[in-house]
Structure 1
Amino acid sequence: MLKLVVTDLDGTFLNNKGSFDRELFSETHKMMKENGVIFAACTGKQCERVEELFEGHSDIWVLGDSATRIKRDGELIRDFPLDKKLGIDLIHHIQSYEQELVVIACTKEAAYVRSDIPEAEYKIVRGSYKELRKMNDLTAIPSELVKITVYDKLHRSVKLKQHLLDQTYSEPVYMVASEPAWLDITAADVHKGKTVQILQELVGATKAETMSFGDGENDVELMHIAEYSFAVANACENTKAAASFITKANEENGVLLTIQKMIHLMN
């Protein structure tokens, strides 16, 4: 019996243009609701950006901001903040390490970038954040942090992660180089797998009743919390190795077609 479907967005559910087949999704989501199956997006994107993408659809759970916040139909259900003092210290170290890195300081209200961010990089960041603001000094951010994300156009996220580990930041934070250009930093033990487990408790779904989809390094945990775990064909090798199954690529509507097949098998 299937009760819960959890999917990553970029590189998994979304195509390479950052969009999706809306007609196919409407058809699939209707099938899911008719069969009592819950749909959840679990992503590094800001919750409000995800809500923007799925505008017009209700009953969608959003585990956004690198799974640090859980929302449903516009209501914040749960969040998992990052210690502000530690976060500010991290921002200081990252900016001191390399001035050209784009640091994104994320709060419940908005994501913040430095005022001097180049326009081309601002557009890239805007693709993941609806509420995006500029400020001169990120270390003076007034709100509670939920995560820090770093964008590096030179694709050195793994190197940056190792640098921060060398600075004794192995605890109490969770760091993952989700892609070569992106590094996500959250509170310790806050990641997609852990947050989905909380969602499972909230909606009353077991691992045996869960299906998951992913492509990146930060989706490996998603493969461990679902009996039916799928890596898309374009996924990284670590996610493929952790998955129970491989499905079609993001460009081939692998997620939606697989959901439809599973529902047909249920009936």
Structure 2
Amino acid sequence: MIKLILTDMDGTLLNDNNEINKEFYPIFNKLLDKNIIFGAASGRQYYNLLDRFDKVKENMLFVAENGTYVVYKGKELIINSLERDIAMEIVKIARNIENAFPILCGKEGAYIEKTDPRLLVETKKYYTRHTVVDDLTMVEDEILKVAICDFSGSEINSLKYYNDYTDKVKVAVSGRIWLDITNKNANKGFAVKKLQELFKIRYEETMVFGDYLNDLEMMKSAFYSFAMENAHEDLKKVSRFITKSNNENGVVDTIKEVALNNNVRRLSIEELEEYSV
């Protein structure tokens, strides 16, 4: 029986219009009735996720900022901070990357230095609490991660600037224009494993959904690992199953058909042939 379900947001639960399918809320209530914990595991800010799930936030699990900040039913469970000195080094490098901007992601809010219209639009999408400051290095907050908003494409542009940091921090391409840099052991998969320990939930009782490279570790943390049809090809390679795209309500339909209809009795891949990679 599945006891824990976690889904990424952008490109996964959300469609390309940034919408949650209307079917989600009745399905969430059914999961609640069955004592199945449901959570959003996202690079988004905790306060942004609270707003998106305002109707059910009292009973939601939030794995925010790529696994660095985890809250369940209003209680802080995990905080995995980034060392301040390293964060400032990362910020200083990002300032010199053409067409890219650093965002300092703290426990209390997000901080940016520039008022570039493109940056403001992207920041507002994912960081409900954000402040424009003169100097990121002067911000007083517990730092969860540094995000790089790279309008030239994170995988082909800003990623290479941090090749020398991969032994110190976790560098993850989290979207076409996003690079997230966190503490070395901070990622969604690490957070899922900690949650499994806290709630005494097994790997075989866990279901996860994702679409991009910041979901790689999370896919390895659950038997029921579903890559979206629209997912990055590298994510599909490490996922056990593939489901319909984010625009086809893949997450909610899979939860209905697999988690709520007892299609997991034997923990067998053959039971789920239509989803198999």
Q: TM-score range by the shorter chain?
A: over 0.9
Give the deviation of 1:118 after TM superposition: 1.4
2-side partners of 1:17 and 1:112: how far apart?
A: 26
2-side partners of 1:85 and 1:144: how far apart?
A: 12
Q: Aligned letter for 2:91?
A: I
Matches within 5 A, 1:48-63: 48-57=47-56, 58-63=58-63
1:25 matches 2:24? yes
1-side partners of 2:154 and 2:147: how far apart?
A: 13
Secondary structure in 1 aligned to 2:126? coil
Give the deviation of 1:77 after TM superposition: 2.1
Q: Which residue of 2 aligns with 1:138?
A: 136
1-side partners of 2:120 and 2:86: how far apart?
A: 25
1:252 matches 2:239? no
Check the 8 A contact 2:154/2:179 in 1, yes or no.
no
1:210 matches 2:209? no
Q: Which residue of 2 aligns with 1:172?
A: 168
Q: Which residue of 1 aligns with 2:262?
A: 265
Q: Which residue of 2 aligns with 1:93?
A: 93
1-side partners of 2:112 and 2:161: how far apart?
A: 21
Q: CA 1:184–1:158 in structure 2 vs 1: closer, same or farther (change >3 Å)?
A: farther
**1:36-65, Cα deviation, whole Å (9 max, x unpaired):** 211011000001100100001031100001
Unaligned residue ranges in structure 1 (runs of 5+): none
Matches within 5 A, 1:177-188: 177-188=173-184
Unaligned residue ranges in structure 2 (runs of 5+): 266-277
Check the 8 A contact 2:170/2:186 in 1, yes or no.
yes
Check the 8 A contact 1:104/1:149 in 2, yes or no.
yes
Check the 8 A contact 2:7/2:41 in 1, yes or no.
yes
Q: CA 1:31–1:186 in structure 2 vs 1: closer, same or farther (change >3 Å)?
A: same
Check the 8 A contact 2:150/2:158 in 1, yes or no.
no
Q: Aligned letter for 1:5?
A: I
Matches within 5 A, 1:100-139: 100-114=99-113, 116-139=114-137
2-side partners of 1:249 and 1:101: how far apart?
A: 29
Q: CA 1:84–1:229 in structure 2 vs 1: closer, same or farther (change >3 Å)?
A: same
Secondary structure in 2 aligned to 1:30? helix
Q: Which residue of 2 aligns with 1:219?
A: 215
Check the 8 A contact 1:102/1:117 in 2, yes or no.
no
Q: Which residue of 1 aligns with 2:66?
A: 66
Give the deviation of 1:239 after TM superposition: 1.0
Tell me the number of residue pairs that the alignment of Structure 1 and Structure 2 aligns: 262
Q: Give 1:150's match in structure 2, choosing from 148, 151, 159.
A: 148
Q: Which consecutive aligned stretches of 4+ in structure 1 deviate over 4 angstroms post-superposition? A: none
Give the deviation of 1:125 after TM superposition: 1.4
2-side partners of 1:144 and 1:231: how far apart?
A: 32
Give the deviation of 1:27 after TM superposition: 1.2
1-side partners of 2:166 and 2:243: how far apart?
A: 34
Secondary structure in 2 aligned to 1:20? coil
Check the 8 A contact 1:67/1:192 in 2, yes or no.
yes
**1:107-152, Cα deviation, whole Å (9 max, x unpaired):** 10000011x3212321121111111111011111112211000011
Check the 8 A contact 1:39/1:60 in 2, yes or no.
yes
Q: Which residue of 2 aligns with 1:9?
A: 9
2-side partners of 1:15 and 1:187: how far apart?
A: 30
Secondary structure in 2 aligned to 1:127? helix
Give the deviation of 1:93 after TM superposition: 1.5
